[in-house]
Amino acid sequence: MIYLDKIYKQSDMSWFTPVELFKPWYAHGIAEAIMRTANLSVPLKIYEIGGGSGTCAKGIMDYIMLNAPTRVYNNMTYTSVEISPSLAEIQRQTVGEVRSHQSKFSVECRDAADLSGWGEVKEQPCWVIMLEVLDNLPHDLIYSENQVSSWMEVWVEKQLERESLVELYKPLQDPLIKRCVEIVNFNENDQAKSSLLSKAKGVWSRAFPKPRKCWLPTGCLNLLEVLHRVLPKMSLIASDFSYLPDVRIAGERAPLVSTKAHGSSSDYESYLDAKGDADIFFPTDFLLLEQIDHYCSGWLKLHGDKPKTGKKRRTIILDTSSFMEEFGLPSKTRLKDGYNPLLDDFKNTKFYLSVPTHNIK
């Protein structure tokens, strides 16, 4: 902890991702999960969304070079889809430290959620990796006067006579928000089918109504719709925060909004106060992520949907410690007293694995 405190104070980073803190072992665990699950009789194709400094890419390619059959490494391609030009250049430098990686690695500097950037549909099996991407994707806020009233969109407006921004409430119109609300409602109804507690809550909400706010992962829905359209045979590995401590902002799935000064962080009471120098982290509801994945793959159908074809995907949600015990090398990060930060820290993170059933025998 003293070491971590020191490197945070020396850096402009608000926080370091696990793949950075535990390099190369964190990336090696992901590579092992891919190797155990992939069909290695076809060329291995990996996409990483938001690859940071390239640590994950280099770690995975190193592991495959050392542990997979030579032909798997020789025929593989690893594409980083990175929106930041400066990070894209850092990734090229990081991966390029190993000369044999250079011909297999490429960076496409674009927004992964923009359908036009992907070109034609790619029918080959591939892997998509997203580490700490979901927590930074755009979210939409909706509001309800009470637990039984209809949801409304929240708009933010700068009014001339006021210094601060204000919220306005309007009827649901945005088609992306509408789809996301339907998936959320489907998910909540599915969980509540056999729950006496949910019925009691329904009675309670009518007797004691109170305003409700809900943050929707519309950016995640948009990204997965694009990925499933252009990469219909993709397998997905995503890792992110399942909950965030000490969140002060109101609403279900509310974000942590913080700023860093002089090596220490402070949290905002309202997202409206953040003026561009703040980091925003959203927790990921992994059961909702699973439903969004099933919806975007064409298997889950909502009310009013056009007929869709899609097979149910095979999915699993794992705590990071369970994932690393299964696929990683925890002995490499065990301390002298037996404590293992790879397993014992980051208790608020999970992995989501999703593979198409037609890739499984």
Domain architecture of the chain: domains with CATH:
1-137+217-242+282-360 (3.40.50.150)
Query: 85-95 and 55-67 are packed helices; what angle lies between their axes, rounded to 10 degrees?
Result: 30
CA distance 162 to 156: 13
> 326 with 36: CB under 8 angstroms?
no
- Whether residue 194 is predicted with pLDDT greater than 60 in this model: the reply is no
As given in the structure block, the two tokens for residue 325 are: 């015990």
Closest to 137 in 3D by CA, of 216, 193, 21, 37: 216
> 150 with 177: CB under 8 angstroms?
no
Q: How confident is the model at residue 359 (pLDDT cuts 50, 70, 90)?
A: very low
Which sign does the torsion angle of CA 258, 144, 290, 125 carry? negative
The per-residue pLDDT for 114 is: 97
The per-residue pLDDT for 303 is: 65
- Whether residue 361 is predicted with pLDDT greater than 60 in this model: the reply is no
- Whether residue 276 is predicted with pLDDT greater than 80 in this model: the reply is no
CA distance 183 to 175: 13
The per-residue pLDDT for 162 is: 78
- Whether residue 158 is predicted with pLDDT greater than 70 in this model: the reply is yes
Hey, which residues does 105 pair with through a beta bridge? 78
For 6-33, b/e burial (b = at least 16 CB within 10 A) is eebeeeeeebebbbbbbbbbbbbbbbbb
Q: Which of 156-165, 178-187, 248-257, 276-285 has the lowest mean pLDDT?
A: 156-165
Q: Provide the residue type at 328 as one letter.
A: G
pTM over 0.85: yes
CA distance 344 to 308: 43
pLDDT tens figures, 104-139: 999 999 999 999 999 999 999 999 999 999 999 999
**Range 27-47 average pLDDT:** 96
Q: Which of 49-53, 77-81, 197-201, 327-331 has the lowest mean pLDDT?
A: 197-201
- Whether residue 201 is predicted with pLDDT greater than 70 in this model: the reply is no
| Residue 295 CB coordination number (10 Å) | 25
> 183 with 292: CB under 8 angstroms?
yes
CA distance 44 to 35: 9
The per-residue pLDDT for 360 is: 41
As given in the structure block, the two tokens for residue 261 are: 């000064």
Q: Provide the residue type at 237 as one letter.
A: I
> 26 with 59: CB under 8 angstroms?
yes
Q: Percent of the chain scored above 90 by pLDDT?
A: 71
The per-residue pLDDT for 208 is: 74
Exposed, middle or buried: residue 341 (CB in 10 Å: 0-12, 13-18, 19+)? middle
Q: Which of 6-20, 63-77, 325-339, 346-360 has the lowest mean pLDDT?
A: 6-20
Closest to 112 in 3D by CA, of 173, 184, 48, 62: 48
The per-residue pLDDT for 202 is: 64
- Whether residue 228 is predicted with pLDDT greater than 70 in this model: the reply is yes
Q: List helix spans (H) across 68-174.
A: 70-75, 85-95
CA distance 348 to 36: 26
Hey, which residues does 95 pair with through a beta bridge? none
> 29 with 322: CB under 8 angstroms?
no
Closest to 219 in 3D by CA, of 56, 16, 50: 50
Distances (CA, A) of 163 to 156, 159, 276, 299: 13, 8, 16, 47
| Residue labelled with tokens 């007929």 | 307
Calculate the average pLDDT of the chain: 90
**Range 31-58 average pLDDT:** 96
The larger pLDDT score, comparing residue 44 to residue 7, is at 44
Q: How far from each other are the two terminal CA atoms of the chain, in whole angstroms?
A: 45
pLDDT tens figures, 341-356: 999 988 999 999 999 9
